[in-house]
Amino acid sequence: MLIELVFLIAALKLLDATNNPTFATTLYTASVVFAALVSGGAFVSVVIWSVVSFCVALVYFSLLQKFESGPQYYSVLGIGGAFLLLVV
């Protein structure tokens, strides 16, 4: 989970730099999938999980781009980040 947190922070920085949620989502999902495969996850379950993770992360990064500042941004940042790390 610590590695996933580092990947999420890196993807958030990338989203701030590029304003492209698809690019940030792709790199976040690819890095987490690579880490899951290296740590010994079954290939089929990792592929299924990666599709779900990609969809959830795309919604998360798109919402972060829509709300660029203010309390809504920080709400999405905290709740969505916790959801990505703990549930997906």
pLDDT in tens, 2-47: 888 899 999 999 998 999 999 999 999 999 999 989 998 899 999 9
Q: What is the mean pLDDT of residues 75-86?
A: 89
Cα separation, 3 vs 48, whole angstroms: 20
**What pLDDT score does 2 carry?**
85
pTM score: 0.88
Kind and range of the H or E run holding 73: helix 71-86
Cα separation, 57 vs 4, whole angstroms: 12
